Structure 1
Amino acid sequence: MTEPHSEHISCAGCGVRLQTEAKDKLGYVPSQALNRSPVICQRCFRIKNYNEASGITLNHDDFLKLLHQVGQTKSLVVNIVDIFDFEGSLISGLPRFAGDNPVVLCVNKIDLLPKVTNFNKIVNWVQRQAKEFGLKAVEVVLCSAKQNIGFERVLQVLDAYRNGRDIYVVGATNVGKSTLINRLIRDYSDLEAELTTSQYPGTTLDIVKIPLDDGSFIIDTPGIVYHHRLTELVSKRDLSKLMPDRPVKPLVFQLNERQTVFFGSLVRFDFVQGERQSFTFYVSNAITAHRTKLERADELYEEHKGELLSPPSREDLELLPKWTKHPMRIPKGKQYDVSISGLGWVKVNSVAGADLMIHAPKGVKIAVRESLI
């Protein structure tokens, strides 16, 4: 049972209610640590100081229950998405959760895009994609919370639409939500405490209310865990390799039909049929690509998975779902991307069309879309 003096105290890092009894349960804090200010749970303490991950997260139903509260308030909803995994990080059904509240779509991690990127075109692309998903945003803002890019524009947009309301921040895990909120705290509040941020999914475990100087609140909600993202399936040691920390250097391959490109043992890309053409791969540069002939691909995989073809290691490969095949027909006449949630995307540079086969762990979301770049 929780000690009386910690009964109504929440962790300043992740929002979970604190308790002093069960070390293996959420919210545990040693009794002597309750005198600190701000008070954070042991899980947040270890993430902050030792960069340790915790396997404890809320389940999907609990996330949805928390999100349902948003539509019953009068607030500004800020939906943070990851430009490097746009389709995978969008919240399906957000308009239903948001109710009549205005939604600002904040597109984070633009620092990962190649430096020659035309950002006006990116904004237009995001607006079109959001419309296809049924999301009507009052504004699309590009930023990098980590690199402090575009943040002044974020503040301008929030000031324009907030009108004294609370700001609800929603997003999938690992989109940079807590990093961006920490920036907001510094600009809107004198509060010294910052949210726990880490590279691991599910860092925020309950609603965290941050008081602003005008009497309203920034309200951080837990990230939704989407298991269709490869970043949710890999081991902790491989997560940092999947998630780029600097601008991606695109890999361009000139391929003949019946050629294959492996990305470690994570994903396999087959160019099954079509005229010789180039494909540009936008993936973390920590992932090594290997090209081979399609007829040798199965043999190469069996011989070298988890070793030459890594990450993951053979040990971690056993933890991933088995590959499933995704046949993709790329239409003629327009440039398209094939997005692989949690890995990146492949731009089909020719407008001649192509037949592809993507092999990825079962459940990973694969989609064809209008080219981002």
Structure 2
Amino acid sequence: MLCTFRRAFTKFCQGCGVMFQHTNANQEGFIPENKYKNTLTQNLKAKNILEEIKYNEDFNLKDFKAKKKKQRQDNVEFEEINEIDDIEERIKVAVPLRHYQQRPKIKPIICMRCFKISKNGTLPEVTCEINSKTPLNSLKSIFDPIKHYSIIIKVVDIIDFNGSFIKEVYDLAFEKKCHLILVLNKFDTLPVGARETRIFQWAVETTRGLISEQNICALSSKTGFGFDKVIKLISQLKTKIDRKIYVVGATNSGKSSFINKLSEQCWNLPKEKYKKQFFELTTSSVPGTTLSPIEVPLKSLGVKIIDTPGIPTFSQATFKILAEDAKSIIPNKKIKPIVLTATDEFSFWIGAMVRIELIEGEFKYLTFFVSQNTSVHKTKRELSMDVYDRQAGKLLWPKYNGEFEWIKHEAEINCVASNRAARDIVIHGLGWISVTGLGRAKFDIYMAKGIGFTLRDSLMPYEASPDKMAYNKGRTFNIDPNYQ
């Protein structure tokens, strides 16, 4: 038992999956040798104590039978046990009472990179082999070990659906005849009033021809909403596979968080006979946290789920800003839509990253769906660049990291209803803007070269109502709290 424990959980980091090394602090997988040995020793001691506690707790009252004391002719005298407390004290004789009151915990053994990410939320400057791979090479390295007819769970961030979609995953899964499950993660960050049925139908229409609608699930890795359907699908398909399930997706789509919550939900299943897992995968808003595949056993389902490295999609805005600022544009709670009126006199800044201007067309409503830490600012068009020069990184937050080239995109939208958004203007990795009104509209969109831009059917079409409209009057919404 102990040998198995050593082999399974001592060679590789339980946060990112890379092999440990004790020599170079600037390379991936580094952990000081004394810290590694001390943690391993503590875990082995804790494991032994937990096994003893488990052994004693498995006793039933029926195991305590009357004890024959001595025999005198035809009379038999038995020891009398009158109180349950006496029985409980006998159970705990083998293990000190303090171990029951404060059960020892088995600590995950993680490298210093994962430790700094989880504790400080920052990405240390460590050389990682995966950072040098292109998206195509990353996909190839992920799919090479996957066998035919396996289950692949594709995790997509519902807030950044177009930026994390990666159509090549569906093509490769089709070639290997794999069973594909599409998970729409981070449902909890959608605005109040988002209905699962409407989101589900939107996803069905968007992915028509790529995946069966029965295999689409909307869920939240934070709250546990929607995991029942995923567990049911896995239970139905696991008889056709080699007991391994692969979780793939773009960086920051929430794969590790999904696996952690799925593992937790499985341990909470009725009639569960297995003890709870003692480690979790490292999760953060920093792109590229997982560096190597990590196997997590789901004993209640009889399968192993494999967390794969995130596929880099360099069209996302998170790759154009500092790593510590990435968490500011990734929503961690429900988005509050911001409804502003648009005419050809005004420009709209999303942080210091995107500028939108209505060039042709009459009055329109623009509804901004962005993180609570990403500023939205409306200003006169002739003053837009002056505001940027003075307030980038201050009033306009966040801003790009380093030098970049502005690129202009054009979007033409034909609005046919005053109470329903016609289209969404999606900025990959940042959010989207829905356009509501009547008549044709033409927009100019300015952003850094390389950031993705998509027009799509509206995900939340009914948010732009007069009672939700915000009046600007020089005000900036979602301003950075550190700005003074």
TM > 0.5 = yes
Q: Is the 8 A contact 2:322 2:401 kept in 1?
A: no
* Whole-angstrom distance in 1 between the partners of 2:389 and 2:255: 39
Partner Cα separation in structure 1 for residue 220 and residue 125 of structure 2: 27
Q: Does 2:253 align with 1:253? A: no
Q: Quick one: which of 186, 193, 198 aligns to 1:121?
A: 198
1:314-329 to 2 correspondence within 5 Å? 317-319=400-402, 321-329=404-412
Q: 1:137 and 1:207, CA in 2 relative to 1: closer, same or farther beyond 3 A?
A: farther
Worse overlay, 26-35 or 362-371: 26-35
SS of residue paired to 2:437: coil
Alignment correspondent of 1:151: 227
Q: CA deviation at 1:55?
A: 4.4
Whole-angstrom CA distance in 1 between matches of 2:207 and 2:158: 12
1:43-192 matches, within 5 Å, as 43-56=113-126, 57=128, 58=130, 59-60=133-134, 61-69=136-144, 71-98=146-173, 99-131=176-208, 134-136=210-212, 138-163=214-239, 165-188=243-266, 190-192=276-278
Q: State which drifts further: 87-96 or 328-337.
A: 328-337
Q: Which residue in 2 is equivalent to 1:201?
A: 287
Further displaced range: 169-178 or 68-77: 68-77
User: Please, which of 39, 43, 46 is the counterpart of residue 109 of structure 2?
Assistant: 39
Alpha-carbon shift at residue 318 of structure 1 (Å) = 4.8
Residues 47 and 318 (structure 1 numbering): CA distance in 2 closer, same or farther, change over 3 Å?
A: closer
Residue pair 1:70, 1:97 contacting (<8 A) in 2 also: no
Aligned-partner Cα distance in 1 for 2:168–2:225: 29
- Give SS of 2:207's match: helix
1:9 aligned residue: 11
Q: Helix, strand or coil for the counterpart of 1:54?
A: coil
SS in 1 for 2:439: coil
User: Are 1:372 and 2:447 an aligned pair?
Assistant: no
Task: Write the distance in 2 (CA, Å) between the matches of 1:260 and 1:145.
Answer: 36
Query: Cα offset for 1:62?
Result: 4.6
Q: Which amino acid aligns with 2:157?
A: D
Corresponding residue pairs, total: 363
Deviation at 1:66, TM superposition (A): 2.3
- Alignment RMSD, CA only? 2.3
Structure 2 residue 354 is matched with structure 1 residue 267: yes
Secondary structure of the residue that 1:194 maps to in structure 2? coil
Quickly say closer, same or farther: Cα 1:351–1:371, change in 2 above 3 A.
Answer: farther
1:119-176 superposed Cα distances (whole Å, 9 cap, x missing partner) = 21110111121237x4556511111101222222322232233336321100111111
Unaligned runs of 5+ in 2: 1-6, 44-107, 268-275, 461-484
1: distance between equivalents of 2:407 and 2:237? 44
Letter in 2 for 1:52: T
| Alignment equivalent of 1:237, drawn from 324, 327, 331 | 324
**Range that drifts further, 36-45 or 335-344:** 36-45
Q: Deviations over 1:172-221 (max 9, x none)?
A: 11111101101222344643121111111111101111233265310110
Contact 2:121/2:324, CA 8 A, preserved across alignment: no
1:274-289 to 2 correspondences below 5 Å? 274-289=361-376
- Say if 1:296 and 1:242 are closer, same or farther in 2 by CA, change over 3 A: same
8 Å CA contact 2:321, 2:401 repeated in 1: no
Output the TM-score relative to the length of structure 1. Answer: 0.90
- The DSSP-based 3-state class of the residue aligned with 1:131 is coil
SS of 1:354's partner is: strand
Provide the identity percentage: 32
Residue from 291, 299, 305 that aligns with 2:378: 291
Provide the C-alpha distance between the structure 2 equivalents of 1:176 and 1:240, rounded to a whole number of angstroms.
Answer: 13
Partner letter of residue 202 of structure 1? Answer: G
8 A contact 2:404–2:448 mirrored in 1: yes
Among 311, 330, 343, the residue aligned to 2:430: 343
Instruction: Determine if contact 2:148/2:177 at 8 Å carries over to the other structure.
Output: no
- Equivalent residues of 1:104, 1:137 under 8 A apart: no
CA deviation digits over 1:99-130, x for unaligned, max 9?
A: 20111100011111111112211101111212
**Which ranges of structure 1 fall in alignment gaps of 5 or more residues?**
none
**Residues 39-91 of structure 1, C-alpha deviations (whole Å, 9 max, x = no match):** 32221222233333234451235522322225434421100000110000112
